[in-house]
Chain A
């Protein structure tokens, strides 16, 4: 884990660290935590490295690189007994209650904590605590190292080499982990590939740090990172990038957005990749920054009518504004895709933190009744495939599709075997390229099934109308009772069609033994932590299966009912207060959840805390509701 004030290079450090591990054939999983702030408040990056695939974070830290004293205060208790802490020598004498960026409520809690642990009030007291538990503390004279770098570069002003502090800490970290320096150098070069002078300065810092640590800490951490040579090709990718790639690959050619965290990164990425290679030439995506989310959704609706695969991307507050456009799309049968990055609500809520509070909102948003699809991805690979699949669903069924993801997926990093999409085919549904002279075209023709062929705006002979009002087959306004019935039924019958046609493997995943006595039910990003907990518990002899629901709406409730029926315990795991999926499952299947493991403090679930909560339930010692609290 690396932590420091926002703006101090925590993110860059994490990227370099992750890349270096990836180059060495290791698996990583990492996630960012940051305040809604530009500079100064605490941020940190938590990375797990392993020779095997890692799916989530745990609640302990083996190596903590602290760029400031606040990081020590916030995370000292997480350092594991065999772990270590790297800290600047200037920070050690600081009084922990004099750190100005610590909020009052944090200090209140801290006071109780250090009294309980019988600790003093300086950073060095916390360091003693770590050492007392068997951990190692590596005190580094960062200022001296920086001065050395400045001298070698012939720079007087120390401020100019200050930005290399994060790379110094990476150098120290990898050195005490006995890792291959060459791979770290490569990671530094790649990260600063567009800024050669900065790259050189950082490479120098890296070498200085390695040299220093080899002399100062000859014993190292005691744990070492060994380089592997896997046979597969591997990528290191974040959730928002995977979604963006899924969109490009899946044929999205118009993306609209209004700036919002954490959705904004995706549109930035798309804009940076707006021209891309296709077979025999060049493709492009139009990325439009709208004046607000009202414009964003409605521009996307318009682009979809013209025949482009179109999407918009937002988070809770933006989606609230988009609801009227969603309803219009539902009424006019517009194939538009909304990528919805949840964060903690309500209102502005926790702008940069995680939550899964918006499942019911996605399913119910909008007045009136209309068909929509809500599709929830549980990991970064699913983010990629679902982003592409969302357009197929939208166009085949002529409905708005909400691709529901969250902050934890958006900016966590993970290594994957390179994405292949051999099986993916673009399916645009029923489209007429021309309407023959003399033929009458009806955009909303009532036929055998709920889907009438689409004609893009501008097609010869296909003139038709759209309206937010109730309409007849041509798209003209009507208030006629029989036509109203027909149109309501046409729109709503799509849900049955979707339910019938989309294969089960695209709607749910099941892990563990089919006949397990107990079933965990969840959706979205808790998947990783649950899978890790499941593996550990089943190894201990427990009988646990995991049902991950991806198709939230229309919910494949008959299949879910079959899976949940006659189990000993059904345990709902979600990042919200009320157990929203559990509630919907109960509504549709009549099967109540026996237990809820919930969390809403804005920090993703760790595998450790999910495992602990599950053990208590399996041992029959748990209350019906258990609220998880890990995180800083």
Chain B
């Protein structure tokens, strides 16, 4: 590999198509992990099925490549068993909003401290480009036999109404901006969703790198492309809830902003609202949860005798 200097790279051949948006996402993720000063053993990358699902194999950190749509249950199970781990979920749009949609919503209800990168390319790439839940109505990519007759789900809006406490959107080919978003998502205490617009050069000839970059609509005077993507922060958009009273107003503004599409497509942080995490709520019920989470409890003495006091457990059942 060319980048041996990076501690988060592996020597596994990256088998994505040339020009795939996933390369940008992978670089941004590795860059974010390095800049945060994390060690490989502290990080667990959890993925689903599809092209994005292979991501953990390309990152030198603990990798759990799971089932289609189930990355969030795995991520949550791992994080809650050992809250010291930095758990990052990496999945596609079909994975998260199709087969795994129930988990996507429920993750918002819990607010576990997990960062979720949702690669959005509008198609099921690994199975040859069928329409994904984010492909817009009336669109026919070159991989489709017919025009798509489903409406699209909006990942940012769905995360907002589900209760995610950090919701952002990045672009696969804006490395610096995406890396920064991932760092902020990881830094956020609670459930973060970062939707990543990811061109699929093989199957999606509609939302291409050129289209996002506005190369189809060059300025007639300068001849320069007029990009569709713009950054929320450059327009002074303030996503952060600093006072519970402004939560609803900011949520609605973020929701409204998330539907902007076509000529102007916003990226950046839409919403951030720090609240109690699921782990903190657990700790209210299990007082020793953070010192001795499930994965780090001692179960027995040196000879294997369980530490649990069986007699005290049986006391309530005693009749004689």
Contacts and interface: CB of A to CB of B under 8 A. Distances in A.
Given A294-B70, A458-B84, A305 B306 contact: no
B133 interface: no
Contacts of A309: 299
A467 B66 CA distance: 6
A295 B42 contact: no
Given A307-B81, A461-B41, A236 B319 contact: yes
Contacts of A280: 307
Tell me the interface secondary structure of chain A in the complex: mixed
A294 B69 CA distance: 10
A286 interface: yes
Contact of B77 (A299, A324, A466): A299
B285 A425 contact: no
16 contacts: A23-B320, A251-B300, A251-B308, A254-B294, A275-B287, A278-B307, A279-B309, A294-B103, A298-B74, A299-B74, A302-B76, A456-B82, A457-B62, A463-B60, A465-B56, A469-B65
A308 interface: yes
Contact of A302 (B75, B103, B300): B75
A295 to B, nearest CB: 4
A274 B67 contact: no
A425 B77 contact: no
A631 interface: no
Given A235-B314, A254-B81, A303-B78, A282 B295 contact: no
Given A295-B76, A418-B314, A426-B305, 8 more contacts: A22-B320, A277-B308, A291-B105, A308-B81, A415-B319, A418-B318, A419-B314, A427-B304
Nearest to A249: B308
Contacts of B49: 468
A209 B54 CA distance: 71
B312 interface: yes
A306 B85 contact: yes
Tell me the interface secondary structure of chain B in the complex: mixed
B319 A234 contact: yes
Nearest to A307: B295
Contact of A465 (B57, B85, B106, B292): B57
A276 interface: yes
Interface string A449-472: 000000011111111111111000
Contacts of B288: 281-282, 284
Interface string B278-320: 0000100111110011111101110111111111111001111
Interface in A278-326: 278-286, 288, 290-292, 294-296, 298-310, 324-325
Contacts of A304: 81
- Interface size classification for chain B: 35 or more
A19 interface: yes
B44 interface: yes
Contacts of A418: 311, 314, 318
A305 B78 CA distance: 7
B199 interface: no
Nearest to A463: B40
A306 B78 CA distance: 6
Contacts of A234: 318-320
A292 B65 contact: no
Interface of A: 19, 22-23, 25, 230, 232-237, 241, 245, 248-251, 253-254, 256, 273-286, 288, 290-292, 294-296, 298-310, 324-325, 328, 388, 415, 418-421, 424-428, 456-469, 475-477
Nearest to A25: B320
Nearest to B62: A457
B80 interface: yes
Nearest to B45: A465
A301 B77 contact: yes
A236 B316 CA distance: 9
Contacts of B287: 275, 282, 284
B312 A467 contact: no
Contact of B305 (A425, A462, A463): A425
A275 B64 contact: no
B299 A307 contact: no
Given A19-B319, A458-B84, A459-B41, A298 B70 contact: yes
